[in-house]
Each structure stands twice: as C-alpha cells, then as structure tokens.
Amino acid sequence: MMLCNHFLHSPISILSSSSSSSSSSSSRSKLKPFVSKSVMDDRSNKFKEFPFVSIEHKNLMVDLVSTLENRFDSQLLPSTLPSHVQHYQNPNATSQASLHIRSAHAHSPIDFILGSWVHSELPTGGSLDITSLSGYLNSSNDAPNFVFEMIRSSPTMLVLILDLPPRKDLVLWPDDLKTFYEDTQLDKHRKALETLPEVQPYFSSSLYIRTVASPTAIMVRIQTENDGGERMEEIIRDHLDPISKQVLSIWLDHCACAKREVGEAERAYLKKRDGIIRNKTIEIDLGSSFPRLFGSEVANRVLEVIKDYFSV
C-alpha cells in the first residue's frame, strides 16, 4: 500500500542523492516521438502513452498494465477519475503527471488498481521520470498487494521497487511467509538481478517504506556507465522486463486469485492494518515531495481524490 504511492515520496530522496542527472541528447531523441498533439488532448488515454520514457521502459509498463487489466477485465469498473486528476501539472508546467485508478466490483478480490507516471524537469537540465503500477486487494483476501515502480533521474540511473508487500505481520503468520514468499520462490528474482554488476541494493531514506516491504522485496539502484543510457535500456529489456512480468504473474496466480478463508476477526485486522498504511502513505507523501513537485493546490486536489480510494 505504502509502496504504491512511494512515487510521491521518493522524488526528494532521488533528487537529493543524484549527483549527475542530465539527460543526454541521445536519450532525449528517443523520448520525443511519443509526445504528439493528439495524445496531449486525449487525457483519458494519456496514462498508457508513457510519453516521456524510452521505448523499452514504455513497453514494459504497457505490458504490465495490460496483463493486469486483461486478467481482471470482467471485474474492473471504468475509470471515473475527473480529467483534471487523470492528468495534472504544476503552474509553470515543469512537472506533469498522469493517474489511472480503476476500482473493482464488490465481489472481486481486487479493491482497486493504480497506475501513474510523473515527469519533472530537473534544475540540472535532465528530468525525473517515475512510472508505477499497483494492485490493492480488499479485506476478503488476506494475500499481499502488488507494487511496481521505476524511478529514473538520468539515462544511467534507475531505482526499481518491485514487491508483494504483506498485509499481515509475517512474524505472527509464518504460514503466510511460506505460502506467498517461500513456495513461490520469489527470492530467486531478487537474486538474479543481484548478479548484474550495475545493480546495488537500494535503501529508502524512509524507514516506514522499509518496514512495509516484504523479505523478498526487490529494491535496487541500477547505475550504468555514461553511454547515454544504452546499457540501461538493455538491462530494462533483458532483465527488468522478464523479472517484473514473472513477479506480476506470481501475484496474479498465487495472491490475487488465491482462495483464502478470511474470518471476521481477520478482516477487521486487515482493515486496520491497510488503513494505517494508507493514512501513513498520504501523511508522509503529502507532507513532503508531492507539493514540491506540483504546488500545494494541485497536490491537494489530486490527494482528495486518492483519499477516496484509499479509505478502507
């Protein structure tokens, strides 16, 4: 839950820690073709255009969103976001973002899915680009949620967060640790990424974000050589793409679609824990980076809408 809206928090830590963030001209030329007048006018489709990221990055996002939406096609309701929340920007248009939220019908295990991208011009001349996709279950199912986020502050620097954050204290429920994390062999994907020399573990500056993560969370910082981003695109295509799809597949098959018995007491526990995480997410994020990127008026407007979905 927390991690889903991690993008609202993470920009500051990324901005403050990135030493070199200028986009090279080669990566710029890759990005331009996706921005067109017709896309800018059609706000409802804009989310899936991912207009500011590379083709490899966009392909991965589009595939993940499609896989998730197709799997729950009959259960997901059309988006009802007002257009000024589907796409928004700060007053001087240096930051813009798209938001995509779809609730599910009452009998679905899904509470809602949330996708977003943020593009923000950096003072250094480069840009910060964040794309994310999350799946939230409701309290009829006690399985973990799905969280995916790519944060890119230069063509050669990327932070990936890919996790199935647990919704119960795994210390008290070791059987859930076995079912969702051990039996599904989730850790092998983290290990596979770790073998790449460009990949280092990433520690969020927020201890709360670390606290809500699972023991198999993939939280990595990828730093490639200064080659204009070519090696990074290769890593996205050959490693992040297949790994992300495999983890989403585990979530779809073993979590979202799992047949779970959830009693009344456990539902109350899930509602309480989910609620705390969602409130904490909004508190941490709204209080810091989100207003800085979009100004307080825009930030508040978008937040009021998100709050509706986040209420349990």
Binding site for its own copies (CB under 8 A): 169-172, 174, 177, 181-182, 187, 190, 201, 203, 207-208, 210-212, 215-216, 272-273, 276-277, 280
Q: What helix, strand, coil percent values describe the chain, rounded to 5?
A: 50, 20, 30
Task: Characterize the bridge pairing of strands 157-163 and 146-154.
Answer: antiparallel
Residue closer to its own copies by CB (options 34, 208) is: 208
Q: On the CB side of 70, how many CA atoms lie within 13 Å of its CA?
A: 8
Residue closer to its own copies by CB (options 69, 182) is: 182
* d(C-alpha 21, C-alpha 298), whole Å: 26
Residue closer to its own copies by CB (options 80, 185) is: 185
C-alpha to C-alpha distances, 264 to 1, 180, 274, 311, nearest whole angstrom: 21, 22, 15, 19
SS3 26: helix
β-bridge mates for residue 222, sequence order: 158, 199
CB of 22 to its own copies, least distance (A): 26
Cβ contact 259:238 at 8 Å: no
CB of 201 to its own copies, least distance (A): 5
* d(C-alpha 89, C-alpha 233), whole Å: 27
CB of 225 to its own copies, least distance (A): 19
Q: Which amino acid is at 87?
A: H
Angle of CA points 233, 238, 240, to nearest 5°: 80
Residue closer to its own copies by CB (options 27, 145) is: 145
Residue closer to its own copies by CB (options 127, 145) is: 145
Residue closer to its own copies by CB (options 93, 207) is: 207
* d(C-alpha 95, C-alpha 284), whole Å: 20
Beta strands in the chain (DSSP E): 87-89, 95-103, 110-121, 127-137, 146-154, 157-163, 199-201, 218-223
CB of 245 to its own copies, least distance (A): 22
CB of 284 to its own copies, least distance (A): 10
CB of 134 to its own copies, least distance (A): 17
Residue closer to its own copies by CB (options 2, 302) is: 2
CB of 170 to its own copies, least distance (A): 5
